[in-house]
Chain A
Amino acid sequence: MALLNKEDAKALLQKVLAYSTADECEVSLTGVEGGNIRYARNSVSTAGDTSTLSLAVRSVYGKKAAFATINEFDDVSLKKVVKRSEELAQLAPENPEYMPMRGAIEYKESKTYVASTAAITPDSRAEAVAKSIKVTKENKLEAAGFIENKNTFSAVLNSKGFFGYNKSTDVIFSVTTRNQEGTGSGYAARGFNDVNKLDTVAATRIAAQKANGSANAKAIEPGKYTVILEPVAATYMLENMFRGLDARSADEGRSFMSKPGGGNRMGEQLMDEKVNIYSDPFHPDLPDNTWNSEGFALDRVNWIEKGMVKNLSYSQFWAQKKNVAAGPFASNIIMDGGTATLEELIKGTERGILVSKLWYIRLVDAQSLLLTGLTRDGTFYIENGQIKYPIKNMRFNESPVIMLNNVDALGKVERSISVESNRSYLIPPMRIRDFTFTSLSDAV
């Protein structure tokens, strides 16, 4: 019951909308079915399945709006939820920033749903984990990992005529392998819409190689170094910047996108010319929803073009206030890369540090977007184009804006997931000059 097809979802939403007597009404459905397995010490620790379906109704009178939601679908319940949202809206404080609902739009179907991912079962999850554990045992390592798959759908219909339906599948896998002595650790993470692209054996082999290669690391002096950030490291660092691509906070003067003296940095050359960052829900390697719940069709948007700030997102209210077109924040983020492989980037490095992963990144200063965090699960010293030895982990204090000014080279783009949000991105490995490490860590 949790997943409805387009026709059934629309019929249900139309039925609910017909009960509305408000000025404006929006009804939406969300369904999720999914499951996961956690494992550690080469053995499964926990596993579970969850299933939910809920209906939300938003009623509006003038500039007063309210939500009500329900997970029962008989006629009495459906009428009750509409009535409840209407009563609540009448009582709500007026929102001066309320913007009217939008009407029907044309949008193209997304490619976010893959049938084979939707067909994942508890035993196929267990099988994928068993294969990963086999690799770690063969390498005399201990694995801790996680696999999770979700099938979701969302559907929205409003009284102005907008209807959106999307279904998607997602599977994520991550594994950390450690040696028995606790002196070496490696990691790999993958996320896909299509489970056929997920190879838990290959990912675990990479983690195992990092674990064995990072044992008995040497300490080097913290300071400024050329670094090669693998995609999983770069993704986590840049995710913190992507959230700030918003015009309002910039115009208000409280963001790294604020221009000294007023306004925002649109049109400013803020980064190196090699940097191109955009959203594109139609990208075959990172498909995403092609509409959003505000009723906008989503298409490609360039955020940073050749290092220049090309666009910031504008909510409908802020766009109206600033007399510009509203620009929703698209859900996926892609950064262009080059043609070099990671190995070729290493080969071209005279002296530097290969960073496999970053950890616990937090904002230190919103003005400069200064972030702190640490390296983790495989950090290596490079000399004359070769990995010389593993080095101890270090804390950094660096701004992704400064970092993207110091881009030396970009490699081939990969689909990568953030170690904190589990969101997928397309990000290249990157060689960065003068990356600032401030202290050593004993952590492995």
Chain B
Amino acid sequence: MKRKEFIRNTSLGMGALFLPKSMLYARHVDPSVFLENKIDVAQKKRMADVALNAARSKGATYTDVRIGRYLNQFVVTREDRVENIVNTESFGIGIRVIANGSWGFAATDNLDTDSIAKTAALAVSIAKENARLLTEPVQLAPQKGYGEVSWKTPIEKNAFEVPMKEKVDLLMSVNDAAMKGGANYMNSLLFLVNEQKYFASTDGSYIDQDVHRIWPTFTITKIDAATGKFETRDALSSPMGMGFEYMNARPEDRIKGLAGTLYKNRYDMLEDARMGAQEIGLKMGAKSVEPGKYDLVIDPTNLFLTIHESTGHPTELDRVLGYEANYAGTSFLTLDKWKSGKFNYGSNLVNIVADKTQPYSLGAVGYDDEGVGTQEWDIIKDGTLVNYQAIRDQAHIIGLDHSQGCCFADSWSDIQFQRMPNISLRPGKVPMTPADIVKNVEKGIYIVGASSYSIDQQRYNFQFSGQLFYEIKNGKIGQMLKDVAYQSNTQEFWNACSAIADKSDYRLGGSFFDGKGQPGQISAVSHGASTTRFNGINVINTARKI
């Protein structure tokens, strides 16, 4: 399948495994290109000023310019061989303007002066063309210019500088461990991202940012030749806003989970592959779950995705207002519920916070893609809906005099819009371990790792599966289960939240590939949580025969 088709087929979803849009127009390059000196800031400022001046001269009342260099590296392996090493670079300019009260946008990968000026003029003409379809002119929250500033992900070891041999050797050792542990197949992947983003606007900001992300992952497959049955176990890693130091776990990064080692801040891929190979053997012979109501004790490696779908998406203000109605959907968290100040989203243990500042998180940047400094704010406080996620042209709708700084575009070639910041469940306020949480459960299931996920377009009804399931009986973790999925309604689920472990158990999960918008764009986002219990949740059995 062509790469573009692959993206079309797997993209545009709602949190699925997508390739970044920047890949669409990306060039395959020599990895040494990644280490070349970045484009000089003064040169980027000159290019940005060409666009700002050209747009102004054509009648734009506001302009912002994003000059982006997006680097991706994938190392793809299976069993004892490298399947593919992909190095891509995408470089171009996106110009967004307001003219006659309407947005217009144009982008090009030709960055000579003439081309930039023409692209700016095209953006203005598109804005003017669309102004006739406008019912209300765009209203931007005020934003002061920051002058010339910069921000960088605080990495310790630039993953793009690590020799390819070291990366390949690591993945080969991981694959070897799984195969020796009894796997039939092993696929592993190392995915690296570096976004070098320059932003300039008529507000007087010139912002240079260098953003790094990393995601190591694998899938172990085991097959029972006699029955033809197969099972998989995915890595328990998390994509992070870190450099290659993520691959070097220290003793304090290992958490003794209720049924095996889990990771905090850093990851041991080799150890996880060894564990995974053992666990998949158990999974093959595990008992198929009896459907019914269970108390679920959910590890952050699973809960992050439930938070993403059931809290992150319905509190996006553009969804609430109807801007995503034709694709990702709207939201059950309508403005009247927020205005009442009393909407009971969850139990009073539930405190959910939005931020783009958390260290190591995927959302962390200094400034968003419309030049607003990043922040932290409450979304759900003691179980009640208190806020949304809003950008400059939405802030006035919820009475804010400023943007919350969560505007993002996945490439220079796409229009920036409201995207989910990190959305995290605050840890429990009283000291509590996962073992304490399980202690009082008579009939429950402990769930680790994310798998299948689906939720309706207003974010009421969801179904999630996982990687590993363990029976909880009379306060103790028991045998492994399989064929488990939990189905619930968002408000009922969060009101069934009965215990949250304290901050010593708090970990980040996340996705590189949150999909939204038309044309579809992806965004990387983290969700923090501690192990949490939900009482009396409906579990279905997913085994079928064809």
- Interface residues of chain A, those whose CB is within 8 Å of chain B, are 1, 32, 35-54, 56, 67-71, 84, 87-88, 92-93, 95-97, 122-123, 126, 129-130, 133, 142, 144-146, 148, 174-176, 178, 182, 185, 187, 239, 243, 252-254, 256, 258-262, 270, 293, 329, 331, 359-370, 372-374, 376, 393, 395, 397, 399, 401-402, 420-423, 438-444
28 of the cross-chain contacts (CB-CB < 8 Å) are A40-B325, A44-B134, A48-B415, A71-B109, A84-B29, A87-B30, A96-B81, A123-B129, A126-B133, A133-B133, A144-B324, A145-B326, A146-B326, A178-B325, A182-B330, A254-B185, A254-B221, A254-B230, A262-B228, A360-B13, A376-B329, A399-B546, A420-B13, A421-B8, A421-B9, A421-B11, A422-B8, A442-B460
- Interface residues of chain B, those whose CB is within 8 Å of chain A, are 1-2, 5, 8-14, 16, 25-30, 81-83, 85-86, 88, 92, 102-110, 122-123, 125-127, 129-130, 132-136, 168, 184-185, 221, 223, 225-230, 232, 321-327, 329-330, 332, 334, 413-415, 417, 452-461, 463, 465, 483, 485, 487, 489, 517-519, 538, 540, 542-546
Q: Are B103 and A46 in contact (CB under 8 A)?
A: yes
Q: Are B325 and A329 in contact (CB under 8 A)?
A: no
CA distance A444 to B460 in the complex (A): 10
Q: Are B2 and A359 in contact (CB under 8 A)?
A: no
Instruction: Kindly identify which residue among B85, B227, B229 contacts A92, using a CB–CB cutoff of 8 Å.
Output: B85
Interface contact tally, CB-CB below 8 A: 270
Nearest-neighbour CB distance to chain A for B435, whole angstroms, equals: 31
Given contacts A126-B132, A252-B185, A367-B230, contact A71 B27 (CB under 8 A): yes
Instruction: List residues of chain A with CB within 8 A of the CB of B483.
Output: 365
Given contacts A48-B107, A92-B85, A360-B456, contact A258 B326 (CB under 8 A): no
Q: Are A95 and B82 in contact (CB under 8 A)?
A: yes
Instruction: List residues of chain A with CB within 8 A of the CB of B105.
Output: 46-49
Nearest-neighbour CB distance to chain B for A346, whole angstroms, equals: 25
Q: Are B230 and A49 in contact (CB under 8 A)?
A: no
CA distance A364 to B229 in the complex (A): 15
Instruction: List residues of chain A with CB within 8 A of the CB of B329.
Output: 359, 376, 443
Instruction: List residues of chain B with CB within 8 A of the CB of A37.
Output: 130
Q: Are B103 and A146 in contact (CB under 8 A)?
A: no
Q: Are A144 and B546 in contact (CB under 8 A)?
A: no
CB-CB nearest in chain A for B103: A46
Given contacts A48-B415, A361-B454, contact A442 B332 (CB under 8 A): yes
Nearest-neighbour CB distance to chain A for B6, whole angstroms, equals: 10
Nearest-neighbour CB distance to chain B for A68, whole angstroms, equals: 6
CA distance A145 to B92 in the complex (A): 27
Instruction: List residues of chain A with CB within 8 A of the CB of B110.
Output: 1, 51, 71
Nearest-neighbour CB distance to chain B for A123, whole angstroms, equals: 5
Q: Are B543 and A443 in contact (CB under 8 A)?
A: no
CB-CB nearest in chain B for A243: B9
Query: Which 4 A-B residue pairings sit nearest by Cβ, starting from the closest?
Result: A260-B228, A69-B27, A48-B105, A67-B28
CB-CB nearest in chain A for B460: A442
CA distance A367 to B135 in the complex (A): 51
CB-CB nearest in chain A for B133: A44
CB-CB nearest in chain B for A91: B164
Known contacts A363-B452, A438-B540, then 16 further A-B pairs from the complex at CB < 8 Å, ordered by chain A residue: A40-B323, A69-B26, A69-B28, A84-B29, A144-B323, A178-B322, A178-B325, A254-B223, A362-B453, A362-B454, A367-B229, A372-B452, A397-B542, A442-B489, A443-B332, A443-B461
Q: Are B107 and A50 in contact (CB under 8 A)?
A: yes
Nearest-neighbour CB distance to chain B for A337, whole angstroms, equals: 23
Given contacts A176-B325, A439-B487, A442-B489, contact A69 B457 (CB under 8 A): no
CA distance A372 to B309 in the complex (A): 15
Q: Are B30 and A368 in contact (CB under 8 A)?
A: no
Q: Are A370 and B542 in contact (CB under 8 A)?
A: yes
CB-CB nearest in chain B for A240: B9
CA distance A44 to B9 in the complex (A): 27
CA distance A359 to B330 in the complex (A): 13
Q: Are A44 and B460 in contact (CB under 8 A)?
A: no
Nearest-neighbour CB distance to chain A for B117, whole angstroms, equals: 15
Given contacts A47-B104, A96-B81, contact A397 B540 (CB under 8 A): yes
Instruction: Kindly identify which residue among B12, B185, B323 contacts A421, using a CB–CB cutoff of 8 Å.
Output: B12
Instruction: Kindly identify which residue among A88, A148, A365, A376 contacts B456, using a CB–CB cutoff of 8 Å.
Output: A376
CB-CB nearest in chain B for A187: B326
Q: Are B28 and A68 in contact (CB under 8 A)?
A: yes
Instruction: Kindly identify which residue among B27, B83, B132, B456 contacts A441, using a CB–CB cutoff of 8 Å.
Output: B456
CB-CB nearest in chain B for A258: B228
Nearest-neighbour CB distance to chain A for B502, whole angstroms, equals: 33
Q: Are A142 and B322 in contact (CB under 8 A)?
A: yes
CA distance A40 to B326 in the complex (A): 8
CA distance A167 to B344 in the complex (A): 55
Given contacts A401-B546, A441-B456, contact A126 B130 (CB under 8 A): yes
Q: Are B485 and A364 in contact (CB under 8 A)?
A: yes
Instruction: List residues of chain A with CB within 8 A of the CB of B223.
Output: 253-254
CB-CB nearest in chain B for A331: B5
Nearest-neighbour CB distance to chain A for B13, whole angstroms, equals: 6
CA distance A145 to B16 in the complex (A): 22
Instruction: List residues of chain B with CB within 8 A of the CB of A44.
Output: 102, 130, 133-134
Q: Are A122 and B546 in contact (CB under 8 A)?
A: no
Instruction: Kindly identify which residue among B30, B456, B538 contacts A84, using a CB–CB cutoff of 8 Å.
Output: B30
CA distance A147 to B481 in the complex (A): 46
Instruction: List residues of chain B with CB within 8 A of the CB of A368.
Output: 543-546
Q: Are B16 and A362 in contact (CB under 8 A)?
A: yes
Given contacts A44-B130, A364-B452, A422-B12, contact A38 B27 (CB under 8 A): no
Q: Are B544 and A148 in contact (CB under 8 A)?
A: no
Given contacts A37-B130, A399-B544, contact A49 B323 (CB under 8 A): no
Instruction: List residues of chain A with CB within 8 A of the CB of B132.
Output: 126, 130
Task: Count chain B CB atoms within 10 A of each CB in A373, A423, A438, A440 and give the residue with the most.
Answer: A438
Instruction: Kindly identify which residue among A38, A69, A438 contacts B29, using a CB–CB cutoff of 8 Å.
Output: A69
